Copies of this chain bind each other. A is one copy, B any other.
Amino acid sequence: MAGQARVLYDFEGQPGTSELSIITGEILNVTSKDVGEGWWEGSNQRGLSGIFPAAYVEAIVQTYNVPPAMPPPPLPQIYVEENTAPVIQQQSQYDDDWDDDWDDDVSEVNPASHPANAAGGRSNSDVGSALDVNLAGLKLGDGKGTVRKNLNRFSHFVKTGGEAYILGASKVTATDSDYIQIIETNDGITWAPNPQPYSCVVASPKKESKLKGLKSFIAYQLTPSLNNIQVSRRYKHFDWLHERLVEKFCIIPIPPLPDKQISGRYEEQFIERRRLQLQSFVSRVSNHPILSRSDVWLHFLTCTDAKRWKSGKRKAEKDEVIGAAIFSVVQVPEKALDPLQLDSQTEAFGRFVQSFDTAVRTMQSNFAEQVKRQQGPYKRDYQRIGQSFRTLSSAMELLETAPLTRALAHTADTYDQIALLCEDQPRLDFEPMGDLLHDYRGLLASFPDIITVHKGALQKRRELERSAAEGKTESNVVIRAQQRTDVVSYTLLAEMSYFHQQRVHDYNAAAKIFLQEQIAYYQKIVDHLQSTLSQYKDV
């Protein structure tokens, strides 16, 4: 049993196949996620079983618990989330070709092809990306892909020398640019700000093609204020970068990339939405005091030369200052931290993350539903009101084309216009909010692991303290361990502080934009109605 899943979208199985028809809201028992090609197998509550598209359901995730005091043993190998191939295998696919064949933007998927029949092999493609179903209307919160290639940070921490670091046995070759500073200010413990803050604009997505038009993709133009030199990046470059950042910064949640999507990808609206989502990713990294200064990011942001790109890529992939090793380059205030206070702080933070994550999911699913409602039933309802006035006007026109007849026809047109407003509106309010929620689901999903990394370090420290009390460990080892776990704690506190600051800023801004757009929408309706009201004479 691979758990349960909630159905997000209706899917009608083809008769005579093993496909299971599923209904939005249903809870399915998932019996296998290994069906392949974006399909899962399971049964519904009426006892019927079969396969269904994984992209149409959302796995019911256990709510995050504050990690247990005793962290679980490290996993035998790097764990990656279901539906993505093991990282090692993936790595091999990143060859040095600037325009290699592993292409995220292949447009030649036969639109009539069925997921189960689609040419396979790209196990790291998003679930359901080959689906021929038009997902254009389902742009929000489909609950998949939010957490991309989410390494288990704790096992990564252990694998990359976490224990050795605490014990002071690690040796890391770091360059100056690697050093990370944490300071204490009036606002508490924070990252030292980037002395050269900059921003970056993502603009002008262009459809490009190669192999004589056989393959096509979108290239996005990034212009950092650092140097004002534009670089062109494809989704696969973002993807590669994202993986490097996750690997490197085991205690910083990396903003998620937008979900992959094939259907309707060349429609203008989709491209613009994707651009906005990538802009959000780029801004989040550019604004982050630590991420914004990392070599790999700056390489991504500034490299304009294919040859330098390849060497920078290789260098980044061989970076040793990743995972636990990063703590060796963190400079923290001298003050020792109180482990008890830390415990209660991280526990409260864990509870907050859990509750915030639930709220984000609730809003994401409610807003996604609202988008569907406005683009479907609401739109039709306005059109039906329009149709009522039109029929009335036409009937009266049989007798005469009086002012009333014309006014009624105008009102019919007005409601048709309102119907179109209603359909388009989510682009301006619900969808941007949905993008923010998508970002936060990605960010929040990292925290339970981050907390576990921290707990793991504290756990190791306590072991050493106990061992020293029993005379089994030298006191200088313990003191070193205490200093070094404080480094881990300082980084967590700095990132918590940064996260809160961003959260307040982001939600305040997003709620304001949402409300402003809602106001503008209803105001536009008022204006339309007022204009049609003026068509009626005083009789």
Give the interface of A toward B (CB within 8 A). Answer: 348, 351-352, 355-356, 358-360, 362-363, 366-367, 369-370, 373, 377-378, 381, 384-385, 387-389, 391-392, 394-396, 398-399, 402, 404, 407-408, 411, 500, 503-505, 507-509, 511-512, 515-516, 518-519, 522-523, 525-526, 529-530, 532-533, 536-537, 539
Contacts and interface: CB of A to CB of B under 8 A. Distances in A.
Given A404-B507, A525-B522, A391 B512 contact: no
Contacts of A529: 515, 518-519, 522
A536 B522 contact: no
Contact of A385 (B366, B389, B503): B366
A351 B359 CA distance: 59
Contacts of A530: 519
B511 A348 contact: no
A522 to B, nearest CB: 5
Q: Which 7 A-B pairs have the closest CB atoms?
A: A363-B388, A359-B395, A359-B391, A355-B395, A515-B533, A356-B395, A359-B392
Contacts of A522: 522-523, 525-526, 529
B384 A366 contact: yes
A271 B144 CA distance: 52
A362 B388 contact: yes
B511 A411 contact: yes
Contacts of A351: 398
Nearest to A517: B529
A404 B504 contact: yes
A537 B539 CA distance: 48
The main secondary structure of chain A at its interface with chain B is helix
Nearest to A398: B352
29 contacts: A348-B398, A352-B399, A355-B394, A358-B391, A359-B388, A363-B388, A363-B389, A363-B391, A366-B384, A366-B388, A370-B385, A373-B377, A377-B377, A389-B511, A396-B503, A396-B507, A404-B504, A404-B508, A407-B508, A408-B511, A504-B539, A505-B539, A515-B529, A515-B533, A515-B536, A522-B522, A522-B529, A523-B526, A526-B526
A352 B356 CA distance: 62
A516 B389 CA distance: 15
A396 B511 contact: no
A422 to B, nearest CB: 12
Contact of A536 (B348, B399, B512, B518): B512
A391 B373 CA distance: 21
A407 B362 contact: no
A394 B160 CA distance: 38
B363 A392 contact: yes
A123 B446 CA distance: 71
A366 to B, nearest CB: 5
Nearest to A365: B388
A408 B504 CA distance: 11
A356 B396 CA distance: 7
Given A358-B395, A512-B536, A523-B526, A381 B373 contact: yes
A399 B522 CA distance: 34
A533 B519 contact: yes
A508 B387 contact: no
Contacts of A360: 392
Given A351-B398, A511-B408, A529-B515, A381 B370 contact: yes
A500 B366 CA distance: 49
A512 B535 CA distance: 9
Given A381-B373, A500-B399, A507 B392 contact: yes
Contacts of A518: 529
Nearest to A386: B366
Given A355-B394, A370-B385, A511-B536, 16 more contacts: A352-B398, A352-B399, A356-B392, A358-B391, A359-B391, A362-B388, A363-B391, A363-B392, A366-B388, A404-B511, A508-B537, A515-B533, A515-B536, A516-B533, A519-B533, A522-B522
